[in-house]
Structure 1
Amino acid sequence: MKTLNTKLFLGLSLLSGIYLNAQQKPKTDSAATKNIEAVTITKQVFKKESDRFVYDVASSPVAKGNTAFNILKQTPLVSSTDDKTLKIIGKNNAVIFINGRKTNMDAESLTQFLKNTPAENIQKIEVITLPGSEYQVESSDGIINIILKKKMTDGLNGNLRMGNSQSYYNSSYAGLSINYRKDKLGISSNINTSQNIQEQYYILRNGNDRFSNQSEGRVSDPNKNLGGYLNIDYQLNDNSNLALTYNSWANRSYGSTSNLFNTVKSDSAGINNIKYNYTKNLENSRSYNNSVNLNYEWKTDTLGSKLNLNAAYLNYKRFQNADNVTYGSNAFQKIGNRMVQITQSTPQIINNFSFLGDYIKKFKNDLTVSVGGNFNKTKTDNDTKSDTFIYNYDANGNLVSTIPSSNPNHFIYDENIYGAYLTLEKKFSDKFSGKIGSRYEITNSVGKSDNVDFSNIERNYNNLLPYVSINYAINDKNNISYAFSSRMRRPSFWELNPVKNILTDVNYTQNNPFVKASSVYTNEFTYMFKNSYFFIVNHSLSKDVITQVPLQREIVKNGVTTKELRYIRTNFGDRQEMSAMLGMQKNFFKQYLTTNFNIGVQRNVNNGSLNTDPITGDVFPDYVNKIKSNSLLIQTNNTIRLDKKKTWFLGVNYWYVDNQQIEIGYLKSLMSLDTSIKKVWNDWTFNLEIFDILKTNKVVITDQQENGNFNYINQNQYNHSVNFSITYNFGNKKVQKIRDIDSADKDIKNRTR
């Protein structure tokens, strides 16, 4: 269920910041094999450059027969805990770039694209932990830049991938990618589809020593997805290119259900009273994401100077209807009379126009000057309808009356963002280089609603965001670097829509149009030894952190005193994160074993308190989180080559996150052990993967306030799964990849999720 899974527990996304073409074949298969084996293996498979780590995939023995997604999971400082998303250790999110350009795809489509791209097409992967001022990323996002190999032959090639996964339910997926080049024209396309049912089990408990509520049960969310992209790139002349990119993604989730059995306990004058009820929620939703981007690139000299212009349009639509009913019940979960019914319609429509322009000027004295600007205009339309019916019965259980109430809210949000940046990058010598820059952003927004409380909410603010980095190679074995970055984190559009998402009649989430952007300031020091071992020290300060806060109080509902819990999306104080990470990327035993290993400690310092609902003004007992915690982080990815011909591979991966304090409570330790076996046979690759073998990837959060209030979350997403996939590569393997175009609306897309 989208509402329960995404909105209530979006705060758990903080965890992610902790982890960290059938034309003509080559003449013979043996010839192709010889070409691969002829590649010279260099020693610097992993190294530190000015503002980024560089993983030389072409020199790595794990690339053969792999996909781009799998090779990214084995890249140092990068991990995936769900086989769907990629994370950089110490970052909330990894933004994917290809050949220096932000991919113009939504998250689901991007995952399928990476899973259908052969790793043999990749030259190197760059991990930018602190992006410079020239990059439009928010908050503490990092960047993964994939550099593709350049191939000059005309023709057609492709990749077909099919897979099946068994978790709580069975799911399947398939994708087809093709790449065509003829003279000056390049066309790349992909279509992929999947269907799955995401099953989860929740235990939610809150209250104090006098009143408490517990909700326990299952959530089932069926999904059918269809998506794809089309890139058309035409070389106008030797110095300029024109490209058009179209991306589309559709999701349908009909029949999503949650069934929560509720236990309400109260203690009055020493008398214990226990009541039961049952809440059933049925939800149907569908969403569509379509975008188009036009790009022009002009190379102005032979040194690499160039002008880039992008214009993009994005249309996002989501339609969601839910029917939430609470019934009377007994201790044996036998359903009785209907007590409360809440029907909701929560559509959202987003339209965005974006423009982005960059000019990079390179000089002969190793000085690079980059200047650019962007403009984003966004309008969101949220026409929400909510109706509540309270059912009253006589002593014999006969329906006496139904009390209806309606709470519609039509919320329209307009936002304009203007940005400009300037960066100077200088290579002073073979050992010393540096970059300095700044981004200036102006944000003007207004929210209007039918509800008098939100009739006209204006947000106008300016931000100057400086950046600096220096890199010094002491000698051929030792390298040190330092970087400082400042970023903004704007709220997602759904966070601003003042709508309630009902869980039970006394438990709901509440979005907030008053949420303002937060600021993030980061310092990072890196030491690297022999291009294999690295040590990273990081400090991050977040001001006005955007999160959800559990406020609870005692209320009288239908003549009964009970506990009410509201998860309020709001700004909640400040947070500091300090970490020290020791890592290694190395090959052993003549490259039969390839391993990367990270171990580190992290200290979280939270400083937030709240006692008033910013939407209604209702006063609650204080919710305070001023707790410090220390935790241990471990991650290791290992690939073992099982034969001399490089056709059998065994993978063993493990990650562990220690207990730690986050915004909404104390997170119990998490870990996962995964393994895989891969067989490469000519153009075919067969892969069997097992995730969360020990079934230890479960979320448990506890929170105990000094005033006696407690909150408990137990979330089992059934991450234990078995996945089998078959990949077939066809066509001319020497086809040149076309340019992947940066989209002017890249930041807006991230905020639709």
Structure 2
Amino acid sequence: MKTKTLIAAIFFSGLIYAQETPKKDTATTKNIEAVTLTKQVFKKQSDRFVYDVAASPVAKGNTAFNLLKQTPLVSSTDDKTLKIIGKNNAVIFINGRKTNMDAESLTQFLKNTPAENIQKIEVITLPGSEYQVESSDGIINIVLKKKMTDGLNGNMRMGNSQSYYNSSYAGVSLNYRKDKLGISSNINTSQNIQEQYYILRNGNDKSSNQSEGRVSDPNKNLGGYLNIDYQLNDNSNLALTYNSWANRSYGSTSNLFNTVKSINDKGEQATSYNYTKNVENSRSYNNSLNLNYEWKTDTLGSKLNLNAAYLNYKRFQNADNITYNSSLNQNLGYKMVQITQSTPQVINNFSFLGDYIKKFKNDFTVSVGGNYNKTKTDNDTKSTTSIFDKNENLAELFDNDGNRIDNPKNNPNHFIYDENIYGFYLTMEKKFSEKFSGKIGSRYEITNSVGKSDNADFSNIERNYNNLLPYVSLNYAINDKNNISYAFSSRMRRPSFWELNPVKNILTDVNYTQNNPFVKASSVYTNEFTYMFKNSYFFIVNHSLSKDVITQVPLQREVVKNGVTTKELRYIRTNFGDRQEMSAMLGMQKSFFKQYLTSNFNIGVQRNVNNGFLNTDPLTGDVFPDYVNKIKSNSLLIQTNNTVRLDKNKTWFLGVNYWYVDNQQIEIGYLKSLMSLDFNVKKVWNDWTFALEIYDILKTNKVVITDQQDNGNFNYINQNQYNQSVNFSITYNFGNKKVQKIRDISSADKDIKNRTR
């Protein structure tokens, strides 16, 4: 299902015409290999870790996405998203500029980009003030190789994956350069059915609900991008970037068998059964356009960058949710409740970004810039609830005073949200000596927003707040083998636009999720200390404090319907207290046995300290029994990626990857341990690469969350996403391998894109 329901609450709380190939110069190749053996593959520089891909055998015949998964400090638990260990999210930059793509098309882009095009990967765990990132996000900067020959090259990739259902994907990428003109394009398509199995329980020893069943979500995707870059003169460039992504999900279904234990008007406990069937159709479109101008003002590297962007996002969604009376054997009876919903969303954004970097001869750099974002979201939600008697006739309903209530009940909600963000930053960076360097900076942000609705409970909501966000980073190279660094960062985490839209997503007639226009931005403060030894071993200590954490909170209470007391559960999107995360991570990136084995290993511990309390629905004012999470937990984290070269000619590779996340307390309960063991075999044959990948071999990547409150209420979530899969792919690289990649341009609307997800 496409609605942001339990998945957001469960897992993301706390825890990708051909020309002849030029002949190789044998002597030159031998010289390069000789240098590679002594070159530093992984090292710490100023505010970032640098992974020199060109000096590593892992890149051979790989894709950019798979290479990133094997980069130190980077992980992926679903083969769709990338995370920096200890961070909420990894924001992808290319050549120092954020990619102008949404999440799904970015993944396809990375999975269709040959790793041989990459020179190095930079992992920035705490970005400076010049970067526009949210919360505790880190940055992965991909630096592409510089090649000067004109011409055309590209690659084609197709693959098939077998999980619960079969899925397929294909893509074509082209790069062209002629004199001052560079063009890069990609088109990709995929088709899959996402299958999940849920077991949901909530209640207490008197009354409770259990819902169990399948959720099937078929998807068809088509996307791509076009980048046009023109060199106006030796010092300036003009570029235009267009990105498009479309998704269609028709016939998504959820079928949940519900067991209801309740207390009748005689005080007797009874058990009843019903069955909820939900059918949903949705489609979405994401189109954006960005114009960039870059002017190099001197020979030291000073430059001016200007960006103007427009983003249009549309999503149309209709759902029909029907609950039937049922027997224990799931024999369906009469229709009890029918809820129909239409939840469209349209987002329009105009953005401007400008920054100037001034470099001085004494290794001193000053960066100054600003940004402006204007966003308008239009959410015209319509919902109708109909209640039926045993003969499937519309039932008569009365309130507590005996007044008749219309049945069916219409719940329209037209919510319009306007937001303006102004940002300014200043950073200063100085290299004091060959050993010592530092950076200091600050970002000042002004946010003005207005939410208007035809719902009387939240008809007009205004938000006006200013934030000063300081940053500092220090780096000291003790000697050739030892390096230490410290950084402090402060950031904001604004709610996504879908989180602000006050719409209900129905699971059953007594179980739903509720978004919240009153959610305010949260603040995150992070300290990080790093020690690195011999450019192969590292130790990182991190402390992060989040204020007004944004999450989904499960509120439940007893309600009386037709003389029967049952449990009602609402997952409310809201601010939920504070959270501290403390971690210590020990890692290694090293090659053994003359580079026949390349190993990346991380092991660490994390301590979570939660401090959250909620007992009132912020939209309706309904009072619930207290939901409290003031629990601390300690957990173990392990990740290892290993690549074994099986032959002398570097054409056969074996990959063995494993990750483990220990039990830990998150905002909505106790998350049980997760882990996954993956294998892959790869064959490189001239310009062809064949890969066979097996994920979650042991079927251990399943989400289970338990919560027990002091007042007797419990909540249980068991979610199986069928992560075990077998994937086979074929990639063909063609054309002139000396083509220069064009500049990848940052979009002025980059932060807004992240908030549409």
Which of these residues, 739, 749, 753, is aligned with residue 749 of structure 1? 753
Secondary structure in 1 aligned to 2:12?
helix
Q: Residue 160 of structure 2 contacts residue 168 of structure 2 at CA under 8 Å; is this kept in 1?
A: yes
Q: Residue 10 of structure 2 contacts residue 705 of structure 2 at CA under 8 Å; is this kept in 1?
A: no
Residue 111 of structure 2 is aligned to residue 115 of structure 1: yes
AA aligned to 1:518 is S
AA aligned to 1:275 is S
Cα separation, 2, equivalents of 1:670 and 1:32: 47
Corresponding residue for 1:706? 710
Secondary structure in 2 aligned to 1:738?
coil
Superposition pairs of residues 179-198 of structure 1, within 5 angstroms? 179-198=175-194
Q: Residue 26 of structure 1 contacts residue 32 of structure 1 at CA under 8 Å; is this kept in 2?
A: no
AA aligned to 1:357 is G
Corresponding residue for 1:216? 212
Which of these residues, 338, 341, 351, is aligned with residue 341 of structure 1? 338
Corresponding residue for 1:372? 369
Q: Residue 11 of structure 2 contacts residue 703 of structure 2 at CA under 8 Å; is this kept in 1?
A: no
Corresponding residue for 1:251? 247
Corresponding residue for 1:732? 736
Q: Residue 506 of structure 2 contacts residue 512 of structure 2 at CA under 8 Å; is this kept in 1?
A: yes
Cα separation, 2, equivalents of 1:736 and 1:655: 37
Corresponding residue for 1:478? 482
Q: Residue 263 of structure 2 contacts residue 565 of structure 2 at CA under 8 Å; is this kept in 1?
A: no
AA aligned to 2:235 is N
Q: 1:557 to 1:29 in 2, by over 3 A?
A: farther
Which of these residues, 635, 639, 659, is aligned with residue 639 of structure 2? 635
Corresponding residue for 2:2? 2
Cα separation, 2, equivalents of 1:305 and 1:12: 45
Superposition pairs of residues 300-449 of structure 1, within 5 angstroms? 300-393=297-390, 397=391, 399=393, 401=395, 403-449=407-453
Secondary structure in 1 aligned to 2:36?
coil
Corresponding residue for 1:142? 138
Q: Which runs of 4+ in 1 moved over 6 A?
A: 28-36
AA aligned to 2:270 is N
Q: Residue 423 of structure 1 contacts residue 435 of structure 1 at CA under 8 Å; is this kept in 2?
A: yes
Q: Residue 387 of structure 2 contacts residue 394 of structure 2 at CA under 8 Å; is this kept in 1?
A: no
Q: Residue 651 of structure 1 contacts residue 677 of structure 1 at CA under 8 Å; is this kept in 2?
A: yes
Q: Residue 172 of structure 1 contacts residue 196 of structure 1 at CA under 8 Å; is this kept in 2?
A: yes
Corresponding residue for 1:157? 153
Q: Residue 435 of structure 2 contacts residue 476 of structure 2 at CA under 8 Å; is this kept in 1?
A: yes
Q: 1:32 to 1:44 in 2, by over 3 A?
A: closer
Superposition pairs of residues 154-303 of structure 1, within 5 angstroms? 154-267=150-263, 271-303=268-300
Shift of 1:62: 1.0
Q: Residue 13 of structure 1 contacts residue 92 of structure 1 at CA under 8 Å; is this kept in 2?
A: no
Q: Residue 488 of structure 2 contacts residue 526 of structure 2 at CA under 8 Å; is this kept in 1?
A: yes
Percent identity between the two aligned chains: 89
Cα separation, 1, equivalents of 2:586 and 2:743: 36
Shift of 1:562: 0.5
TM-score by length of 1: 0.97
Question: Where does the alignment leave 5 or more consecutive residues of structure 1 unmatched?
Answer: none
Cα separation, 2, equivalents of 1:176 and 1:302: 37
Shift of 1:35: 8.6
Secondary structure in 1 aligned to 2:110?
helix
Q: Residue 488 of structure 1 contacts residue 517 of structure 1 at CA under 8 Å; is this kept in 2?
A: yes
Cα separation, 2, equivalents of 1:41 and 1:113: 31
Q: Residue 94 of structure 2 contacts residue 744 of structure 2 at CA under 8 Å; is this kept in 1?
A: yes
Cα separation, 1, equivalents of 2:601 and 2:649: 26
Which of these residues, 663, 678, 699, is aligned with residue 667 of structure 2? 663
Cα separation, 2, equivalents of 1:379 and 1:447: 10
Question: Where does the alignment leave 5 or more consecutive residues of structure 2 unmatched?
Answer: 397-406
Q: Residue 287 of structure 1 contacts residue 316 of structure 1 at CA under 8 Å; is this kept in 2?
A: yes
AA aligned to 1:532 is S
Superposition pairs of residues 10-49 of structure 1, within 5 angstroms? 10-14=8-12, 18=15, 22-27=18-23, 37=33, 40-49=36-45
Corresponding residue for 1:83? 79
Q: Residue 355 of structure 2 contacts residue 369 of structure 2 at CA under 8 Å; is this kept in 1?
A: yes
Cα separation, 2, equivalents of 1:343 and 1:401: 17
Secondary structure in 2 aligned to 1:70?
helix
Cα separation, 2, equivalents of 1:708 and 1:237: 72
Q: 1:206 to 1:733 in 2, by over 3 A?
A: same
Cα separation, 1, equivalents of 2:10 and 2:232: 48
Q: Residue 262 of structure 2 contacts residue 564 of structure 2 at CA under 8 Å; is this kept in 1?
A: no
Cα separation, 2, equivalents of 1:25 and 1:260: 57
Q: 1:337 to 1:261 in 2, by over 3 A?
A: same
Q: Residue 524 of structure 1 contacts residue 536 of structure 1 at CA under 8 Å; is this kept in 2?
A: yes
Residue 123 of structure 2 is aligned to residue 127 of structure 1: yes
Cα separation, 1, equivalents of 2:36 and 2:315: 51
Cα separation, 1, equivalents of 2:52 and 2:363: 23
Cα separation, 2, equivalents of 1:329 and 1:414: 45
Q: 1:302 to 1:257 in 2, by over 3 A?
A: same
Shift of 1:14: 2.8
Secondary structure in 1 aligned to 2:65?
helix
Root mean square deviation of aligned Cα: 1.4
AA aligned to 2:689 is T
Cα separation, 2, equivalents of 1:361 and 1:495: 39
Cα deviation 1:209-229 (Å, max 9, x = unaligned): 100000000000000000000
Secondary structure in 2 aligned to 1:392?
coil
Size of the aligned set, in residue pairs, is 745
Cα separation, 1, equivalents of 2:165 and 2:34: 45
Cα separation, 2, equivalents of 1:594 and 1:433: 31
Superposition pairs of residues 543-554 of structure 1, within 5 angstroms? 543-554=547-558
Secondary structure in 1 aligned to 2:538?
strand
Shift of 1:28: 6.5
Cα deviation 1:24-65 (Å, max 9, x = unaligned): 321479899769757633341000011000000000011111
Shift of 1:293: 0.2
Cα separation, 2, equivalents of 1:187 and 1:542: 42
Could you tell which deviates more after superposition, 613-622 or 21-30? 21-30
Q: Residue 41 of structure 1 contacts residue 60 of structure 1 at CA under 8 Å; is this kept in 2?
A: no
Q: Residue 379 of structure 1 contacts residue 412 of structure 1 at CA under 8 Å; is this kept in 2?
A: yes
AA aligned to 1:524 is E
AA aligned to 2:239 is A
Cα separation, 1, equivalents of 2:487 and 2:430: 15
Shift of 1:533: 0.3
Cα separation, 1, equivalents of 2:8 and 2:74: 21
Secondary structure in 2 aligned to 1:62?
helix
Cα separation, 1, equivalents of 2:718 and 2:502: 27
Cα separation, 2, equivalents of 1:366 and 1:654: 42
Cα separation, 1, equivalents of 2:253 and 2:626: 33
Secondary structure in 2 aligned to 1:577?
strand
Cα separation, 2, equivalents of 1:313 and 1:75: 33
Corresponding residue for 1:50? 46
Shift of 1:8: 2.4
Secondary structure in 2 aligned to 1:304?
coil
Could you tell which deviates more after superposition, 289-298 or 31-40? 31-40
Cα separation, 2, equivalents of 1:442 and 1:557: 47
Cα deviation 1:539-589 (Å, max 9, x = unaligned): 000000000000000001243211000000000000000000000000011
Cα deviation 1:632-670 (Å, max 9, x = unaligned): 000000000000000000000000011010000000000
Secondary structure in 2 aligned to 1:288?
strand
Residue 591 of structure 2 is aligned to residue 587 of structure 1: yes
Cα separation, 2, equivalents of 1:172 and 1:41: 39
Corresponding residue for 2:403? none
Superposition pairs of residues 714-725 of structure 1, within 5 angstroms? 714-725=718-729
Q: Residue 226 of structure 1 contacts residue 249 of structure 1 at CA under 8 Å; is this kept in 2?
A: yes
Residue 534 of structure 2 is aligned to residue 540 of structure 1: no
Cα separation, 2, equivalents of 1:400 and 1:443: 48
